[in-house]
Amino acid sequence: MSRVLTVFAGYPNSETTGGLRMAWRTAAALVRRGHEVAVLTDSARPPGSSDDLPVRFRTREQLGASPDWRRPDVVHVYDLASAEYAALGYELARESGAEFLLTPASAPGTWPDHRLGRRLCGAARAVFTLTPSEAALLADFGVPTSRIRHIPQAPDLIGAGDGAAFLDRHSVTGPLVLFLGRRIPSKGYHLLLEAAPLIWRALPETVLAFGGPSGGRADQSVFARHRDERILDLGLLDESGKHDALAACDLLCLPSCADVFPLVFAEAWSCGKPVVSGRFAGVEDVVRADVDGLVCDLTAGDVAAAVLRLLHSEDLRTDLGAAGLTRIRDGMNWPHVAAVVENAFPGARDGRAQRGER
């Protein structure tokens, strides 16, 4: 078994991201597989059982004060959207002689330090990617294909969602379209707001619900321009509230222009719900158009057309949602993710070498 130090940044106001959730859940899955795991992060612990959560250090000083963690076997960094923690993790790996692993977890266009991101991708013994498109991009950066490993995305929902309670709580009686994500331009929340009048022209009872952390004053002014009783600003939802919203909605709409594999798509599929995605680089590896969701161009008109196509056909919504749920059940889960990560650990690699495997 290996001693694994996982390094990743937290976000303000207890905000969570797909990369952050992947780091916590993979660490917990590795604990269940018998590894010693610690995390270095300023992130709050996730909800759920604490029995399998790793040891947490909030600062480098706390980590250094623990003799057991001065020489880990593996240092695994998550999310190049945080240059500070990515650089710290690499430095710790070099100082301790540990194997350095990396999960970029975000599109290169969102990396604050692109040069650092490329350097760390090249230095990692294994780089974990979520899609073939992401893998191809990293190969273009010069990362040897032998070091690139594919991991699946996996849903991170707790408990059982109560859709009826959500609808009753918010007095929703018509169709419900849900946006879940940060209110930043790259996530496309403004496109769904701009699409609202076009949707209402055809289906005036439709409610658009927006859940997720604020992007600041900019998104507040955008919402102010689109005030309507059929627009619900849910803010940052807790775990049960998010699950309730997914259980209640007719579809999830995230018209993103820059992403890798939005976690919320996996969560929608796990609830049997279809998704509408924006057309970002690599989206064809994420959403199977007309199979488990729809992909639209990044205009309000195209977003409205995709939403209306689903709202007008219950059969289509049911079929696409069922296909997504089957996809989740066929291997998009945390034990599978952990098994792929574990296979890059030094002990696993040494075992393969003895057997003559790559």
pLDDT tens digit string along 272-322? 999 999 999 999 999 999 999 999 999 999 999 999 999 999 999 999 999
Lookup: tokens for 65: 């004060």
Task: Sort residue 213 into left (φ over 0), alpha (ψ -120 to 50) or beta.
Answer: beta
State mean pLDDT over 199-209: 98
State mean pLDDT over 5-14: 81
Residue spans per domain, the chain = 3-152+333-354, 163-329
C-beta of residue 310 within 8 angstroms of C-beta of residue 250? yes
C-beta of residue 263 within 8 angstroms of C-beta of residue 242? no
CATH topology identical between 3-152+333-354 and 163-329: yes
- Please spell the DSSP secondary structure of 292-316, one letter per residue: TEEEE-SSHHHHHHHHHHHHT-HHH
**Predicted pLDDT of residue 214:** 80
Confidence tier at 216 by pLDDT (50, 70, 90): confident
Q: Does residue 358 surpass a pLDDT of 80?
A: no
The fold for domain 163-329 equals: Rossmann fold (3.40.50)
> What is the C-alpha end-to-end distance of the chain, expressed in Å?
20
**Which comes out higher in pLDDT, residue 211 or 16?**
211
Q: Does residue 356 surpass a pLDDT of 90?
A: no
Nearest in space to 212 (alpha carbons), one of 9, 17, 10, 8: 17
Strand partners, 175: none
Confidence tier at 17 by pLDDT (50, 70, 90): confident
**Predicted pLDDT of residue 46:** 75
Average pLDDT of the residues of the chain: 91
Residue type, 338: A
Name the CA dihedral angle for 148, 149, 152, 153, rounded to a multiple of 10 degrees. Answer: -50
**Predicted pLDDT of residue 18:** 79
pLDDT tens digit string along 323-348? 999 999 998 999 999 999 999 998 65
pLDDT tens digit string along 78-107? 999 889 999 999 999 999 999 999 999 988
Angle between the 18-32 and 334-342 helix axes, to the nearest 10 degrees?
Answer: 70
Q: How far is the CA of 175 from the CAs of 167, 290, 310, 314, 319, in angstroms?
A: 10, 20, 11, 11, 17
As a whole number of angstroms, the longest Cα–Cα distance in the chain is 66
Q: Which option is the CATH number for 3-152+333-354: 3.10.129.10, 3.40.50.2000, 3.10.20.600, 3.90.230.10?
A: 3.40.50.2000
Q: Which of 55-64, 76-85, 232-241, 315-324 has the highest mean pLDDT?
A: 315-324
Confidence tier at 355 by pLDDT (50, 70, 90): very low
